Chain A
Amino acid sequence: MAEFLSLHDAVARYVEDGATVAMEGFTHLIPFAAGHEVIRQGKRDLTLIRMTPDLVYDQMIGAGCVKKVIFSWGGNPGVGSLHRLRDAVEKGWPNKIEILEHSHAAMACAFEAGAAGLPLAVLRGYVGSELPNVNDQIKFIECPFTGERLAAVPSVRPDVSIVHAQKADRAGNVLVEGIVGVQKEAILAARKSIVTVEEIVEDLTEEPGYHPNACIIPGWAIDAIAVAEKGSLPSYAHGYYPRDNAFYKEWDGIARDREAFTKWIEENVMNAGEKA
């Protein structure tokens, strides 16, 4: 049953040093507030899973929280590189990180398999790609019925998953609207889960525009809910605020330079507190 906690307490309780953490949201609803709280609490040696690491993992990598990243597309969308990710991979700053890379199709299937409680995901994938040469977690199996060669990857089973959503109700049920990515799969695949929300309402089913096929994650499938208003900026929350594309472009300049990055984290994360 979902427990309502402050963001500080949710992260302190569920994100341990050395944990495997998935913070999802496909371009949309990226849990930045939670990522910043992880940085503020000085968590270390995390294995981070995310299809598109985006700025949130760039920041956590640069802040020294990370030992390994599992991903499928590590860029600043529409802008260019993630310079903190690159600096860590290419030069080992602030520490050397290990990477394990997949394709989107494989990671999406791996999240789904995790939610389904399976040990592996099977897909018609990686044909002719050299990714299996550099990622020993990509194997090929033979279909027992047709003999077709198919790719297999281990399912994603994070210690903790964190997603951001529009709203939760008093019973802890969460509504996700717009681009839903793999948020639901991430929550259901994890041992523990935290959902940050823009706001809390009385009862989701009484909300205007509620639809019986809406993407709802029931409260009994979630461990902690924390309110984090504007918690996905500079990403966006469908129906609440748009993506801050200008900041995504600006980040390129900040992240290129170690000093500029360190100063930005100091001012905007470390000294900003939970309400930042």
Chain B
Amino acid sequence: MSLEYTSAEMMTVTAARALQNGMACFVGIGLPSEAANLARLTHAPQVTLIYESGTLQTKPDVLPLSIGDGELCESALTTVSVPEMFRYWLQGGKVDVGFLGTAQIDRYCNLNTTLIGDYQSPKVRLPGGGGAPEIATNAGEVFITLKHSPRAFVKDVDFITTLGFGRDGKGRDNVPNIGRGPTRVITDLCVMKPDPDDHELTVVSLHPGVTREQVQEATGWEIRFAADLETTPEPSERELEVLRELKARTARAHAGK
């Protein structure tokens, strides 16, 4: 029996499945936070979620709107200062995986959240780096999730806010004390992984019903497909139920007074 679900739900469920029970995950706000909490509420109850506001081992009942919502602190094991969070917990090597979103990503997984256009006279000014530049290099590995579109997936990002594998794919070579970097990118169409040799993003799995042409149309360069291209497993009934309840609770909580 096939279940009804949206491409956004497919993306969140697939992103959630990337997290394993027992991992310590430094969570970005938005889609990563949605996926990480879905993982915690389904197959990975022992996942440790860490947000840059200092909340350590947090278990929010509703998704936070901001990275520092009170819910994160109230449901955390403890809350530390922001310098401690970045210095001891992240830079100290206690984080297995950083889970990030982005505005732009390129074929070498470099992330741009700074601006579109030229730095001195930007077409669009974006919020900036936040925690991402050091999450991406100090966490053991990095998962990235975002919606697939030609505006987001560009051959070369306008600005490297956060390192994937650099302009030539070799940005991590011979750098000491650096994490493995991006190991998978999850979108509403597919799952991609950097090629083990040259680090160029390669589609390894298409979501059910998605064609190669659709992925190519939504990508700003000629995207590679793995020789053993797979179909991403569908969401389960339980995953969809938990995700929908989480989103409904969140919508009610943020509707305001």
A positions within 8 Å CB-CB of B: 26-28, 51-52, 71-75, 77-79, 81-82, 85-86, 89-90, 101-106, 108-109, 111-112, 123-131, 134, 148, 178-182, 184-185, 236, 238, 242-248
Bound state CA distance, A239 and B72, in angstroms?
Answer: 14
Chain B residues with CB below 8 A from A236, complex form: 70
Whether A124 lies near B177 (C-beta < 8 A) is yes
Bound state CA distance, A81 and B115, in angstroms?
Answer: 12
Whether B127 lies near A184 (C-beta < 8 A) is no
Chain B residues with CB below 8 A from A124, complex form: 91, 134, 137-138, 177
Chain A residues with CB below 8 A from B68, complex form: 26-28, 77, 179, 181
B161 at the interface (CB under 8 A from A): yes
B132 at the interface (CB under 8 A from A): yes
B54 at the interface (CB under 8 A from A): yes
Whether A127 lies near B82 (C-beta < 8 A) is no
Chain B residues with CB below 8 A from A109, complex form: 83, 86-87
| Nearest CB on B from A187, distance (A) | 12
Task: Among A72, A81, A128, find the residue whose CB has the most chain B CB atoms closer than 10 A.
Answer: A128
Chain A residues with CB below 8 A from B127, complex form: 73-75, 81-82
A178 and B29 contact, Cβ closer than 8 Å, known pairs A101-B128, A105-B131, A129-B163:
no
Whether B83 lies near A111 (C-beta < 8 A) is yes
The binding surface of chain B is classed by DSSP as loop
B217 at the interface (CB under 8 A from A): no
Chain A residues with CB below 8 A from B162, complex form: 129
Chain B residues with CB below 8 A from A103, complex form: 129-134
Whether A130 lies near B159 (C-beta < 8 A) is yes
Bound state CA distance, A134 and B114, in angstroms?
Answer: 11
> Could you list some 22 contacts between A and B, CB below 8 A?
A27-B67, A27-B68, A72-B129, A79-B65, A86-B125, A104-B131, A105-B131, A108-B87, A109-B87, A111-B83, A112-B83, A126-B133, A127-B133, A127-B163, A148-B176, A181-B53, A181-B81, A182-B82, A242-B70, A245-B254, A246-B257, A248-B65
Closest to B176 in A: A148
B79 at the interface (CB under 8 A from A): yes
Whether B178 lies near A127 (C-beta < 8 A) is yes
| Nearest CB on A from B61, distance (A) | 14
Bound state CA distance, A112 and B85, in angstroms?
Answer: 12
Bound state CA distance, A127 and B220, in angstroms?
Answer: 26
B91 partner, pick from A71, A89, A123, A184, beta carbons under 8 A: A123
Chain A residues with CB below 8 A from B110, complex form: 128
Bound state CA distance, A89 and B256, in angstroms?
Answer: 31
Whether A72 lies near B128 (C-beta < 8 A) is yes
Whether A27 lies near B125 (C-beta < 8 A) is no
Bound state CA distance, A223 and B151, in angstroms?
Answer: 50
